[in-house]
Amino acid sequence: MDNPLKIAIAGLGTIGGGTVRLLRENADLLKRRCGRDLVVGAVCDLDKELAAEWPDVPYFNDALAMVRDADADVIVELIGGADGIAKKLCETAIAAGKHVVTANKALIAHHGTDLVKAAEDKGVSVAFEAAVAGGIPITKALREGLVGNRISRVYGILNGTCNYILTTMRETGREFDDVLAEAQELGYAEADPTFDVEGIDAAHKLAILTSLAFGCEINFDAVHTEGIRHVTAMDIEFAEELNYRIKLLGIARRTEFGIEQRVHPCMVSLANPIAHVDGVFNAVVADGDYVDTTMYEGRGAGERPTASAVVADIVDIARGNSAAALGVPAAEMEPFTVSPMDRHRGRYYIRLMVTDEPGVFADVAAALRDCEVSMEAVLQKGRSPGEPVPVVMTTHETSEGSMIRALDMIMALGAVIEPPRMIRIQSFSGGGIE
């Protein structure tokens, strides 16, 4: 193909600027690899100073005007946000018959199915490799590399901020608030870290991975989501003693009740490679019926890794690659049947702070017995009669509903002085329905 692919980029922040630089600095390489020039034909940002680096590129301060007036085949949306101008920009571009590339995980998690349907009707592409796990090409792996497999489970570390915080807490023994403040100073966490530390960012990404893995519509609302604020240095120390690492994981799998999607801290065995993915790195694991288990690890954010993923999507469009955005055409998507969280079965780590007095442990054991929860092991370090002490228990496999009922009963005991801390112990044996 001799005709250039003309690209218009909305949003010149970290990722947008990196994308323009990559397209221009590696222009010759990209032309050889896709058979045509990739030309940045327009850029847009409210801050004109961000466009000053490229004075030869037409500048817009109105994203919708850029879609309307710029000579572009592809609109790259790097503004962010689930709604507002980002959503309107993508809808307008699709209606105008232009391809869309985005790194916006919130937009795709909330509106991806509708955008993909609209794009298929117009014969254009919606591509979002950069929306999940930064520079790791996981959407392409699920959509194309593993296309011959029935995927039974996909899981991973999907948020580098949380992984950095948990890693640093483990390495230094410091508490969450202290490490979060450091992460903000280093630029690993936003000034408002809510989306990261409450698990919302990881839930956006998991909802997208679920659709790609199982050929169903994206259902963000069905993701059970917990963050890491309640994880303490004490929990991390106990985890190490029990030969586990605490990781915030997103996990999606088929069960006999439907599709289970959950984001929460997990106790992961040190024998599992994902337990050793540290710092700001992400990792995603997919279990397929023919390929067995595959793992993908890399930088999940940042200018260069994310720009790399954005440009990979642009190159696919330039080559004319036409794989369905969500793995199957919209008309072939399966209905989404939610597996209720109280049906989840697994093992649990429980930490109690109790007053050290006679009969406490018998009362706790009775609550567990009454809810059909069986203890596996108990740890208690030292004694301080009449004073608060930590008691850690691990359980045999039980249902989430039973575990929650038991914790409610335990919390009502007078000797329990703060809410019990529960962390799920995650087994990854078996691959399929557990």
Catalytic machinery residues: 205
Q: Pick from 47, 52, 61, 64: which is nearest to 20 by CA?
A: 52
Burial (Cβ within 10 Å: 0-12, 13-18, ≥19) of residue 387: exposed
Q: Pick from 204, 202, 194: which is nearest to 106 by CA?
A: 204
**C-alpha pair distances (Å), 415 with each of 134, 354, 388, 420:** 47, 5, 9, 12
Q: Pick from 131, 60, 142: which is nearest to 313 by CA?
A: 131
Give CA–CA dist 151/197, Å, rounded. 28
- Sign of dihedral through CA atoms 377, 381, 383, 389? negative
Q: Are 249 and 222 in contact (CB under 8 A)?
A: no
Give CA–CA dist 106/201, Å, rounded. 8
Q: Are 87 and 111 in contact (CB under 8 A)?
A: yes
Give CA–CA dist 188/164, Å, rounded. 8
CB within 8 A of 252, min separation 6: which ones?
153, 154, 155, 206, 209, 210, 213, 214, 259, 260, 261, 262
Q: Are 134 and 15 in contact (CB under 8 A)?
A: no
The single residue listed with the structure tokens 């409210």 is 46
Q: Are 287 and 153 in contact (CB under 8 A)?
A: yes
